[in-house]
Homo-oligomer: A and B are copies of this chain.
Amino acid sequence: MKPIHLIAALMLGIPMMLIPTDAFADEGMWLFTNPPKKWLKEHYDFEPSEAWLKNLQRSAVRFNSGGSGAFVSPEGLVITNHHVGADALQKLSSPDRDLVAKGFHAKTRDEEIKCVDLELNVLMSTEDVTARVNAAVKKDMSQADAEKARRAVTNTIEKESLDKTKLRSDVITLYHGGEYHLYRYKKYTDVRLVFAPEQDIAFFGGDPDNFEYPRYDLDICFFHVYEDGKPAKVEHYLPWSKSGASENELVFVVGNPGHTDRLDTVRHLEFLRDRNYPSSLRTIFRREVLLTAYSQRSLENARRAKDELFGIQNTRKARLAALAGLQDPAIMDRKSKDEKTLRDSLLKDSTLKGDAKAWDDVSTAIDEWNRIYTDWALLENGTAFNSELFSIARQLVRIADEDAKDNADRLREYRESNRESLEQQLFSEAPVYDDLEVAKLADSLSMFMEQAGADNQWVRKTLRGHSPQARADELVRGTKLKDVAYRKEIAKAGRSAIEKSDDPMIQLALLVDPPSREVRKTYEEKVDEPLKQAYAKIANARFAIEGTSTYPDATFSLRLAFGQVKGYMQDGKKIPPWTTIGGAFKHSDLHGAKPPFVLPDSWLQPPKPLDQNTPFNFVCTADIIGGNSGSPVINKAGQYVGIIFDGNIQSLVLNFTYTDAQARAVSVHSSAILEALRNVYGAVELADEIERGRAK
């Protein structure tokens, strides 16, 4: 039971940010090196042991395609969401084998299918390298030199670590530049598909129910990891809880939240509100309409575009809700007040006073970002060239240029320590569809013309006197880059061979590389580096004034969150924390059993009777955001009680500020998973493997 004064704070919906008091509630995406031990002890009387934390950390699996997961058996069984695995499922699918829609079940190890380009990461160790990074950046350096020096030291630290440990080594920027940590990951690149349900139940309710609650989704997917072609054994995994968590129970979420903006200054948030979000939403709306129209033309089109369309719709809904938060004066006024409080405290402190300028430095960098925004988005982010084949061409062109430089001087993604992961994607055998490529590229070239202007030199040089449609057609039909062998050949060939290539997509990538690099350089030197320097000052001021018992914004790196299983009030009605399997059938009936509210045949006529009362999905107050999809939900005993697959619509404001008034993380209950595996899918071996893990 929480002390009564907390309730009032929570009713405001917008608790104070980053102040380690009661107002924190269940806030925080905590580093494993700095977990909220004091809070847990004081409010939940729970003290996690080092062994408990270590098992969580090493059982957690990052999906490099953009999600989280966990080992749930010593035999290397990984569970994640269906919508996280969907990228791999889509790439294994063909017109005759739609694994996304129809699901998959390997009854034996032999039937498992190897994913084409999936990379999983397990965080083995971390090291604070802030001092070394900052030492490389001298006080009197220009922004350009500072950016170069910071990149060089980062690339070098990673390379040294890789050489020494053979582990994937990434320097992670925390607190927007306040700290730099070296993360070492064990990497799995031989990942095989074990089980996926039909999309109709994995994503039951579709886009309308996405980010909503109550829900009834079996959003799961299983893989096995292999090493040297053989099933891997893993030391750390999460034992399964058959009964799951009960109401008000304390639970933990371990995963990789992708990105939050809680530490942004008000000016930075205003830029997100006025420029960044509206601009990206315009592109998203356009792509959603394009892909929806494309998908409706035939069932095969729908299959080809499915995973991409899901991603776009998911982003659209999340962005719109987050933008609504930014457009809500209640939130922005609170942010302004908090910022003023911190700045005022700073100004009163003679040693910190000088750092108050940091807010102005952020504003200057943001102004610069705003100035270059259109070119930056179109050229360097590539919204003008929405095509897989163009991305491949660009990477090949850049590899040739970057390989000729010292590792320290390379653009981040071409650093030596990242080469294996880069090639895993670049040489992927994932199918590429000409018609879809043409549709996407034509539309984005049209947008390029519209946004940069018909007379823009790069627009003219790109289109070469053709319409966007005709030029897209020529580029896609003419390129040989669909052939992975050809990609490998080009990757080896070096700059002069690339310049001689008559491949039209390579030629286009070569053509637009100089202006793209130029705007990237401006961004890195005049936006990113100054932001890092300014936010480092703000972070230090925060630490000095508010204390260091805090957590950084999300960066798609491993975090620990916690909360209680708890319902909430909405429109005057109490939303209970659970749904049941029986509720799925009622929900389908309520929507006339029409798509996306159709239950698959396997559920309508299960081989064994389904217990309608089995808890299906549940909500908790843990602090999550996109990237947490697939995160394990754990009880105090370290057992697996569920899998995060969504947040409700009220949770999307967590991008900027934590609240547990209504915001909830949404999970599939561990009981429902076993019930479905055994009674719907007859996946006895899989259920047995999970339950063997439970015996641990």
Residues of A within 8 A of B (CB): 206-208, 270, 273-274, 278, 281-282, 285-286, 288-289, 292-293, 296-299, 316-317, 323-324, 327-330, 446, 449-450, 453-454, 463, 465-470, 591-592, 594, 596
Contacts and interface: CB of A to CB of B under 8 A. Distances in A.
B329 A207 contact: no
Contacts of A328: 467, 470
A221 to B, nearest CB: 24
A114 B530 CA distance: 68
A453 B591 contact: no
A207 B289 CA distance: 11
A381 to B, nearest CB: 19
Q: Which 9 residue pairs of A and B lie closest in terms of their CB atoms, listed nearest first? A: A328-B467, A285-B285, A208-B296, A278-B450, A208-B297, A285-B289, A285-B286, A299-B592, A329-B465
A679 B449 CA distance: 52
A102 to B, nearest CB: 14
Contact of A454 (B208, B270, B596): B270
Nearest to A301: B208
A467 B292 contact: no
A464 to B, nearest CB: 10
B324 A274 contact: no
A592 B208 CA distance: 24
Given A289-B289, A296-B596, A316-B289, A324 B207 contact: no
Contacts of A324: 446, 467-469
Number of copies of this chain in the oligomer?
2
A650 to B, nearest CB: 12
Contact of A296 (B206, B299, B323): B206
B330 A274 contact: no
A209 B446 CA distance: 22
Nearest to A210: B293
Secondary structure at the A interface, as helix, strand, loop or mixed, is helix
A450 B330 CA distance: 17
21 contacts: A208-B293, A208-B296, A208-B297, A278-B450, A281-B286, A282-B282, A282-B285, A282-B286, A285-B285, A285-B288, A289-B289, A289-B316, A292-B292, A293-B317, A299-B591, A324-B467, A327-B454, A327-B467, A328-B467, A329-B465, A329-B466
Contacts of A282: 282, 285-286
Contact of A594 (B299, B327, B449, B454): B299
A144 to B, nearest CB: 32
Contacts of A286: 281-282, 285
Contacts of A299: 591-592, 594
Contacts of A285: 282, 285-286, 288-289
A329 B206 CA distance: 41
Contacts of A330: 467
A592 B323 CA distance: 39
A107 B584 CA distance: 43
A594 B595 CA distance: 11
Contacts of A298: 591
Contacts of A463: 329
B207 A296 contact: yes
Nearest to A275: B450
